Copies of this chain bind each other. A is one copy, B any other.
Amino acid sequence: MTDTQVAKVVGAVREDRLWQRHMEMAAFGATPRGGVNREALTPEFTQARQCLLKWTSMRGYTSAIDAIGNLFIRRSGTDPTAAPVVSGSHLDSQPAGGKFDGAFGVLAALEVLDALSDASVATKHPIEIVDWMNEEGGRFQPTTMGSSVFAETLPLDTVLATADREGITVETALAEHLTKINTDGIREFGFPMAAYLEAHIEQGPVLEATKNTIGIVTGIQGLRWFQIEVTGEEAHAGTTPRANRRDALAAAVEMIETLHLFMFDESDTVRFTVGRLDVSPNSPNTVPGKASFTVDLRHPDAEVLRDLGDHIEEICDAHSGDCEVSVTETITSAPTTFDPAVVGLIRKAAHHQEFPAMEMISGATHDAKSLAGLCPSGMIFVPCAGGISHNETESATPADLAAGSRVLAEAIVSLANA
């Protein structure tokens, strides 16, 4: 493929079409406040996929689905034996989510396919769009469910048995969904891919603040979640002397304050969050008998993450006073490093197209994390307003979305002709 051909494809990426499709897709599950409520396997999610299949079948692309409901849409290549270059993200949203988180990755991949078709450019490898099932994990836990089952890091049986708050299992919801989604074929988990690329809004404030259009994502930070339970004793707030109290909230407050100080780093790389704290009985005139809180700790460096996380129990113990404390690690996820060759292609495309770009680590988890162990993988970020996502006010500009799609197009075309 010549540079002229790449330029033709990149030039065929249409900002207006890409934006219009975001707006049409956002109609499925649209909320009064301008957001999207399109949780996995709901009727709105099914409608969104039907719309995607309508657009893609019109262009002659073929579709397939796997046993956990991941949807693949293929534009054929010239070499029938070549593994596909796959790109996509997810059409499901948070219950009070936005128009761009996930949808952008799917629609950007579609824009690349349509640009190739409009420019009448063939590729050696087939190119596939993927819509991973249930990335958000709101209705059915955990997050990145479809891509994890695909990568066989989550067992299918367990996942199918997982129920939502109303007791509906993934198995039941998926069976219902499949009656309304007609695909040309079925796919196996972990089928060979030449590469995987995912475009996404940053979900953080860095690109906007530094006036960069493209985030060249070099990896996804690692994560450790902890649940801390502090047990003291309920007592009357008016009559119980301080010396006789076993105040679970007072102990928890001291632990959290100490953890904040311990996690402080000058470079502001550590992500340490106590997002949830529950107090019992939570009555103004009763000394709390129980307090429980969560820790969400993230860092791109595996060793730093291990070291910081391993200190949490020790710090909680040291500040438990007369209370008892238990620290349980509930989720552990190692940092991901994306393939240097893929990262290099994205960097090259961004520079070539003269977009202001920077390398960055993804703070959030994405389906690309599941894929990184299977094939050369990478991600492209574009800015979102105020770094806000998982929120109905989530916003991105047509120009930035198009820029991300053009960089994606160049990287995909390179990979699909390698």
A250 within 8 A of partner (CB): yes
- Closest chain B CB from A148 CB (angstroms): 17
Q: Are A239 and B364 in contact (CB under 8 A)?
A: yes
Q: In the bound complex, how far is the Cα of B323 from the Cα of A408, in angstroms?
A: 39
Q: Are A257 and B260 in contact (CB under 8 A)?
A: no
Q: Are A296 and B237 in contact (CB under 8 A)?
A: yes
Q: In the bound complex, how far is the Cα of B289 from the Cα of A276, in angstroms?
A: 11
- Per the 8 Å Cβ criterion, residues 222-247 of A in contact with B are 223, 225, 234-244, 247
Over the window 381-395 of chain A, the binary record of Cβ atoms lying under 8 Å from chain B Cβ atoms (1 yes, 0 no) is 000000111110000
Q: Are B268 and A260 in contact (CB under 8 A)?
A: no
Contacts known (A236-B204, A239-B202, A244-B387); A285 close to B278, Cβ less than 8 A: no
Q: Are A271 and B238 in contact (CB under 8 A)?
A: yes
A115 within 8 A of partner (CB): no
Q: Are B294 and A284 in contact (CB under 8 A)?
A: yes
Contacts of A357 in B (CB 8 A): none
A82 within 8 A of partner (CB): no
Q: Are A273 and B296 in contact (CB under 8 A)?
A: no
- Per the 8 Å Cβ criterion, residues 61-111 of A in contact with B are none
Q: Are A298 and B253 in contact (CB under 8 A)?
A: no
Interface residues on A, range: 35 or more
- Closest chain B CB from A335 CB (angstroms): 12
Q: Are A243 and B223 in contact (CB under 8 A)?
A: no
Q: Are A236 and B389 in contact (CB under 8 A)?
A: yes
Q: In the bound complex, how far is the Cα of B206 from the Cα of A256, in angstroms?
A: 32
Over the window 256-278 of chain A, the binary record of Cβ atoms lying under 8 Å from chain B Cβ atoms (1 yes, 0 no) is 11001000100010111111111
Contacts known (A273-B285, A285-B273); A240 close to B278, Cβ less than 8 A: no
20 pairs, CB–CB < 8 Å, chain A vs chain B: A203-B236, A203-B239, A204-B236, A204-B239, A205-B239, A205-B244, A209-B244, A223-B238, A235-B387, A237-B271, A237-B275, A238-B363, A239-B271, A241-B271, A242-B271, A274-B288, A275-B286, A277-B277, A277-B282, A286-B390
Nearest first, the 9 A-B pairs at minimum CB distance are A204-B239, A239-B363, A238-B363, A237-B273, A284-B294, A238-B364, A237-B296, A257-B257, A275-B284
17 additional contacts, CB 8 Å, given A273-B284, A273-B287, A284-B294? A202-B239, A223-B238, A235-B387, A236-B363, A237-B296, A238-B296, A238-B362, A241-B271, A242-B268, A243-B268, A250-B260, A253-B253, A253-B274, A275-B283, A275-B287, A278-B282, A286-B390
